[in-house]
Amino acid sequence: MNAPLSREWDSLRQSRRRRLERAASLGFGKTIPTEKIIELLEAVIQPGDRVCLEGNNQKQADFLSESLADCDPARINHLSMVQSVLALPSHVDLFERGLASRLDFSFSGPQGTRLAKLVQEQRIEIGAIHTYLELFGRYFLDLTPNVALIAAQAADAEGNLYLGPNTEDTPPIVEATAFKGGIVIAQVNERVEKLPRVDVPADWVDFTVLAPRPNYIEPLFTRDPAQITEVQVLMAMMAIKGIYAEYGVKRLNHGIGFDTAAIELLLPTYAADLGLKGKICTHWALNPHPTLIPAIESGFVESVHCFGSEVGMDNYVAARSDVFFIGADGSMRSNRAFSQTAGLYACDMFIGSTLQMDLNANSSTATLGRITGFGGAPNMGSDPHGRRHASPAWLKAGREAYGPKAIRGRKLVVQMVETFREHMAPVFVEELDAWKLQKSMGADLPPIMIYGDDVSHIVTEEGIANLLLCRTPEEREQAIRGIAGFTPVGMARDKAMVENLRDRGIIRRAEDLGIDPRMATRDLLAARSVKDLVRWSGGLYAPPSRFRNW
Amino acid sequence: MEKLDFSFDSAPVSRSTDPALCGVVGSGNLEILVQSGVKPGTCEICIKTAARGFGDTWRAVIGSFAASHAAGGTVIAINDMGATPAVVSLRLAQALAEYQGGA
């Protein structure tokens, strides 16, 4: 028998105590003066620490990020960063200035090019690119932060935090850090005597600092209806009639593109005319998209749970508490972890877009010279094998995929793309750029956003391909070629086989669905401008100035 | 700027009214003018496009249009500013319908 291990069992707690003592010896209490933040960070962060820097689609702990980047790399170095997104210039500065050396993350949108350069120069080591839930999960297993730098709307004197409508990723970050001997530091937009509500209790928070300006928020989910094209209207009509109506899709998530914005704006018009109100699109895991306002106002939508909020939507959302999740204080509570869980297990459909798709229906938004990650799409765009509850949409899809005696259902995972992007770049390709990117980055896997075997349908201007009904790899390939339009992949189709697939309903054209493409005009959109959205909201939606032209 | 001329066999157009104009010349869009021609079984198309080097794609798009629509006996002029094949196909269908009196 082995002897009992002789070791300390509270080294994390001791480390935490030493860090807090260092801060106290410098005269710091719980409330940190703005101009002293670098001194505090240098006192409590140690070389080699795992640090979580909060930020996602909406709010960013931008002041803490910039302050950390301004710390002395002789004192703080070899940090291992864990964070949802690498979005701000200061996030990349951490690596360029030698403070941090390793990164585990989910999405790097605007910094994708700088990140790729750092990888090629071997100045950064990427642990892995995750989907959000996966990264949050690892916070509770092998990537627990030593220090979390978070963003809140307000703090009271004790250090309780109010997060406002943009809760986003804060709960899992704080919980993982605070309960495993870590240090939690919050930047706040304001200090108040009494918070509207307590989102994070003070004893989970070690320090608060008033940011010199409110945390940065990006209106990422605002799509101007004026930019929706007739081709997008046509694809939206096909999706509504050929998928939403046929499967009776009630619970769903939409991507952020103009394609799905067009669907949202056709609900009160085209879908209502088809008699679909109450039959589709009743329950959503979705950010408060301004383009969903007409559908909400028309009574289509019963419930929306949000990952985060959206700039300008707060008053509208607060005034629709039957639809959104609103606290007793009257403001929304969002939560990315729970909304992603809903997107995975409780939604019958995910529909989104991509930049490239291959003949196995693998899709990716990664292009050469950029490392971007995919945020929540790989999670929501996957068929969860852990689901056990049934719904008509899930059962119908399951029977199409596995036959009439299926013992499981199937999530609908729909990719909606025009066959060509801007500058005539074909979406359908023989090989994804992801494979070249994998080689140039030395990654374990090609960065694929949604695996082809998860995809159930593809919608293009040429029609809908139902991959669930394909019985051989050859049929799948021709089903994809058969809706790939005039791309080289589309033109290389086997015409006889494609016509056979059409006869079997695996490929359906607009006319097969009883849709006249010439009816696809912008007149069908419930709102044709941002101003229309404001009108639908009764003046409650306050769009950011860049979306105002009146 | 590139100029392309195509001529495809197509079933004769069912009826024709006045020349029809559809679309606008703007980024990613195009303008299509449909007029009557002299050959009833032929659709003649003249394209001026800002995007060079897409002759094969145009040939495929127009060929598909001529095969799937009764467009014989028309002369179609196109001014293009980089419209995708999806937009071109949709506009052609709209312009032909307009030419036939909005049918």
- Which site among A227, A486, A493, A509 would you substitute to test the B interface, given the most B Cβ atoms closer than 10 Å to its Cβ? A486
Distance from CA of A269 to the nearest CA of B (A): 21
Q: For B28, name the nearest residue in chain A, comparing CA atoms only.
A: A422
Partner residue opposite B90 with nearest CB, options A231, A419, A486: A231
State the ipTM, two decimals: 0.91
Query: What pLDDT, in 10s, does the model give residues A27-41?
Result: 999 999 999 999 999
A324 pLDDT above the threshold of 80: yes
A residues 417-446 closer than 8 Å to B (CB): 418-420, 422-424
**Could you give the 3-state DSSP secondary structure of residue A105?**
strand
CB contact under 8 A, B84 and A231: yes
Domains in chain B, number:
1
Contact A520 B90 (CB under 8 A): yes
State whether B86 and A485 contact (CB < 8 Å).
yes
Nearest to A518 among B57, B86, B94 (CB): B94
Position A221 pLDDT exceeds 60: yes
Q: Dump pLDDT digits (tens) for A262-275.
A: 999 999 999 999 99
Say whether pLDDT at A550 is over 80: no
> Nearest Cα to B76, choosing from B25, B41, B39, B35?
B35
- Cβ contacts (< 8 Å) between B61 and chain A: which residues? 486
- Using CA coordinates, name the residue in chain A closest to B91: A518
B29-64: pLDDT as tens digits: 899 999 999 999 999 999 999 989 999 999 999 999
Residue A532 pLDDT more than 90?
Answer: yes
* Residue B16 clears pLDDT 80, i.e. is over it: no
A486 touches A468 (CB < 8 A): no
Binary contact (A517, B97; C-beta < 8 A) = no
B80-94 pLDDT, tens digit per residue, is 999 999 999 999 999
A512 has a chain B CB within 8 A of its CB? no
The more confident residue out of A437 and A432 is A432
Please tell me which residue, B24 or A389, carries the higher pLDDT value: A389
**Comparing C-alpha atoms, which of A406, A429, A279, A462 is closest to residue A354?**
A429
A302 touches chain B (CB under 8 A): no
User: Using one digit for the tens of pLDDT, what is the confidence trace for A224-261?
Assistant: 999 999 999 999 999 999 999 999 999 999 999 999 99
Rounded Cα distance, A382 and A449, in Å: 10
List, as own/partner pairs, every contact residues B16-19 make where C-beta atoms lie below 8 angstroms and the sequence separation is at least 24, other chains included.
Answer: B16/B73, B16/B74, B16/B99, B16/B100, B17/B99, B17/B100, B17/B101, B19/B99
Percentages helix, strand, coil for chain A (3-state, rounded to 5) are 40, 20, 45
Task: List the single residue in B with minimal CA-CA distance to A418.
Answer: B86
Between CA B26 and CA B35, with CA B31 as vertex, the angle to 5 degrees is: 170
Distance of CA A511 to the CA centre of its chain: 34
Instruction: List the domain range (segments joined by +) for residue B44.
Output: 2-99
Sign of the Cα torsion A159, A163, A168, A171 reads positive
Q: How far is CA A15 from CA A418, A459, B73, in A?
A: 55, 55, 86
Interval A92-101 mean pLDDT: 96
Contact B84 A419 (CB under 8 A): yes
Asked if B57's CB is within 8 angstroms of A231's CB, the reply is no
Low-confidence winner among A195-199, A423-427, B74-78 (lowest mean pLDDT): A423-427
Q: Is A315 helix (H, G, I), strand (E, B) or coil?
A: helix
Average pLDDT over residues A165-175: 97
- Among the residues of B1-103, which ranges form H helices? 55-68, 85-99
**Which residues does chain A have within 8 Å of residue B97's beta carbon, measured at their own beta carbons?**
518
| Contact criterion met (CB < 8 Å) for A419 and B85 | yes
- Return the pLDDT at B18: 86
Q: Which residues of B touch A489 (CB under 8 A)?
A: none
A231 and chain B in contact, CB less than 8 A: yes
Mean pLDDT of all residues in A197-217: 96
pLDDT at residue A368, rounded to an integer: 78
CB contact under 8 A, A461 and B86: yes
* Residue A502 contacts B where some CB pair is shorter than 8 Å: no
Least confident of A136-140, A369-373, A466-470: A369-373
Closest Cα partner for A278 from A253, A258, A249?
Answer: A249
Closest CA to A490 of A424, A414, A426, A417: A426
Q: What is the mean pLDDT of residues A190-214?
A: 97
Q: How many helices (H) and strands (E) does chain A have?
A: 21, 19
Tell me the range of A42-51, A115-124, B83-92 where mean pLDDT is highest. Answer: A42-51
Section A166-183 average pLDDT: 97
pTM for the full predicted model: 0.95
Confidence of residue A1 (pLDDT cuts 50, 70, 90): low
Name residue A177's amino acid. Answer: T
What is the C-alpha separation between A489 and A429, in angstroms, rounded? Answer: 6
> What band does A401 get if pLDDT is binned at 50, 70 and 90?
very high
The verdict on a CB contact (< 8 Å) between B82 and A423 is yes
Give A230→chain B minimum CA distance, Å. 8
Contact with chain B for residue A257, Cβ under 8 A: no
How far apart CA A163 and CA A155 sit, in angstroms, is: 9
Q: Are B33 and B77 in contact (CB under 8 A)?
A: yes
Q: What is the dihedral of CA A97, A99, A103, A109, to 10 degrees?
A: -40
Identify whether the C-beta of residue A81 lies closer than 8 Å to the C-beta of residue A103. Answer: yes
Quote the percentage of chain A above a pLDDT of 90.
Answer: 88
For range A338-351, the mean pLDDT: 98
Please report, for residues A420, B7, B52, B60, B82, the alpha-carbon distance to residue B48 in angstroms, rounded to integers and kept in the order given: 20, 15, 10, 16, 10
Residue A220 has pLDDT above 90, yes or no: no
In which band, very low, low, confident or very high, does the pLDDT at A465 lie, cut at 50, 70 and 90?
Answer: very high
Structure confidence at residue B102 (pLDDT): 67
**Chain B residues whose beta carbon lies within 8 Å of the beta carbon of residue A420:** 84-86
Average pLDDT score, chain A:
95
Which of A419, A422, A423 comes nearest B86 by C-beta?
A419
